[in-house]
Amino acid sequence: MSNQRQPKPTLTGQRFKTRKRDEKEKFDPSQFQESIVQGLNDSGTDLEAVAKFLDASGAKLDYRRYAETLFDILVAGGMLAPGGTLSDDMTCTEFCLFKAQEDMETMLAYAQVFHKLIRRYKYLEKGFEEEIKKLLLFLKGFTESERNKLAMLTGILLANGSISASILSSLFNENLVKEGVSACFAVKVFKTWLAEKDINSVAGSLRKVGMDNRLMELFPANKRSCEHFSKYFTDAGLKEISDFARNQQSIGARKELQKELQDQMARGDPLKDIITYIREETSKNNISEQTMISLIWSSVMSSVEWNKKEELVTEQAIKLLKQYSPLLKAFTSQGLSELTLLLKIQEYCYDNIHFMKAFQKIVVLLYKADVLSEEAILKWYNDAHLAKGKSVFLEQMKKFVEWLKNAEEESESEEEEAD
C-alpha cells in the first residue's frame, strides 16, 4: 500500500456569478466627486432638479461609502481639507449651499434637499449628523457669509428634526469658544430655530440630549456667568434663550444646594453655619426665599428614616422640627414664605399617609417657635389652602384657629381700652 498522498481535486472553469453587492460600479472619491459635481452643474440653481438627481444617483453611486464627500460637495462645492478649505486637486461646483443666496427662502429650499435625501436613504442619517459636527469644527475656515448660511441651515434642520441638538457639542471646542465664534454662530442658529419653532420645542430638543445645562459653555471660563450669558443673548434679541438658560442654571444651582444642605444635616453641622451657607448661595444664585423654604422643608423631612407607626411618627416629626425650627425661621421673614411653608406641610402630610393626623401638631409647634405667624395661618385657613386633604386638615385646625381669632379679638379690645 502506497503512503503517497493523492492530490486533492481542483475546480476548474470560470465563475460568472457575482454577489449582488459587487454589482454596483466601484468609485474612488475623485470619480464620485466628478459624478456629483457634473449632476449639480447640470441642475444649476433648480433645487427640485438637484433633489431628483440625488434621489436617482443613489441607485448608481456609493452614497454609503462616500457620504462625507457627498455632503462636503453639497455644502461647500467640493471636498474639504482639514480646517475647512477646499481641496485644490478636485473638481468643484458653484452650485452649493455656500455659493447660494444668503436668505431664509433659499436656505429653506436647501434644507428640503437634505431632508428628502436623508428620508430617501435612511442610512445617511448618522453620516449627515457627523458632517454637521465636522462643519461646525471648521467654522474658523469659513467666511462670515458661509457661516451665516450654515447657521440658518442648521437652525432649520434642528427645527424640522432632520438632525439632533447633540451636534451643538462641536461649538464647545476650546478654540471656537475662545475667539467668540461659538456664541456668535449659536445666536444665528437659535434665531432661525425660533423662527420655525417656539421656545418649548427648542427647550425639549435641548433637554432630550442633555444640552439644556451646557449652554454656558459657549463662552470662555472667565465669562461663563449667568449675567454675561443673559446680556449677550438678550442684546442679540434672544431673551427667550436668555430666560431659558437662567432658569436651567437656577434649577441646577437648587439641586446642588439641596444636596449640600442634606450633606450638612447628615454631618450634624451647626445650624448657624448652615444658615450662613444658605444665605450666601441664595444671594449668589438669586434664589427667592419662597423657593428656599421649600428646599429646606424637603431636606429636613428627608434627613431621617421615619417610623412606620402613625402614633410614633408624629412624636418623631415634632422632635425633628423643634431641632430645625431656627433654620426654618431664618427663611420665613416674609408672609409669602410662611404661606409657602404651610402649603408644603399640607402637601407633605397628604402625600405621606402616616402624617395625616400630624398636621395640626406641626403647625402649632412652628407657631410657638415663631416660624409661622397667626396672619399666615389664618390666611391659609380662610382661602389659601390646597385642595389636597382640605376637609381633614381644616377640621384639625378648627379649634386652634378659633383660639387664634379670640386671642386676636382680646388683643384688639385691650388696645382700645388702653387708648
Written as one string, the DSSP assignment of 34-82 is HHHHHHHHHHTT-HHHHHHHHHHHTTTS-TTTTHHHHHHHHHHSSPBPT
Task: Name the E strands within 142-260.
Answer: none
Does the pLDDT value for residue 414 go beyond 60? no
Q: What is the model's pLDDT at position 18?
A: 46
Strand partners, 86: 80
Q: What is the model's pLDDT at position 347?
A: 95
The answer to whether 149 and 103 are in contact (CB under 8 A) is no
Does the pLDDT value for residue 1 go beyond 60? no
Q: What is the model's pLDDT at position 16?
A: 46
Does the pLDDT value for residue 137 go beyond 50? yes
Kindly state the DSSP code that residue 168 receives in the 8-state scheme: G
Task: Say what percent of the chain tops pLDDT 90.
Answer: 72
Residues 324-354 as b/e (b if ≥16 CB within 10 A, e otherwise) read bbebbebbbeeeebbbbbbbbbbebbbeeeb
Q: Which of 24-38, 293-307, 403-417 has the highest mean pLDDT?
A: 293-307
Distance CA 301, CA 313 (A): 12
Collapsing DSSP to helix, strand or coil, 307 comes out as coil
Find the mean pLDDT for residues 142-151: 96
Confidence bin at 8 (pLDDT 50/70/90): low
Distance CA 332, CA 314 (A): 23
Does the pLDDT value for residue 261 go beyond 50? yes
Nearest to 73 by CA among 91, 55, 59, 61: 91
Find the mean pLDDT for residues 269-280: 94
Q: What is the model's pLDDT at position 405?
A: 86
Find the mean pLDDT for residues 305-333: 92
Q: Return the minimum-mean-pLDDT range out of 66-75, 85-94, 117-126.
A: 85-94
The answer to whether 45 and 24 are in contact (CB under 8 A) is no
Tens digits of residue pLDDT in 324-357? 999 999 999 999 999 999 999 999 999 998 999 9
Collapsing DSSP to helix, strand or coil, 8 comes out as coil
pTM over 0.75? The answer is no
Q: What is the model's pLDDT at position 88?
A: 73
Q: What is the model's pLDDT at position 238?
A: 95
Nearest to 70 by CA among 11, 116, 29, 18: 29
Distance CA 391, CA 401 (A): 14
Does the pLDDT value for residue 208 go beyond 60? yes
Does the pLDDT value for residue 90 go beyond 80? no
Find the mean pLDDT for residues 240-269: 88
Q: Return the minimum-mean-pLDDT range out of 1-10, 110-119, 268-277.
A: 1-10
CB atoms inside a 10 Å sphere around CB 36: 25
Confidence bin at 5 (pLDDT 50/70/90): low
Q: What is the residue-averaged pLDDT of the chain? A: 89
Find the mean pLDDT for residues 163-188: 96
The answer to whether 379 and 349 are in contact (CB under 8 A) is no
The answer to whether 40 and 3 are in contact (CB under 8 A) is no
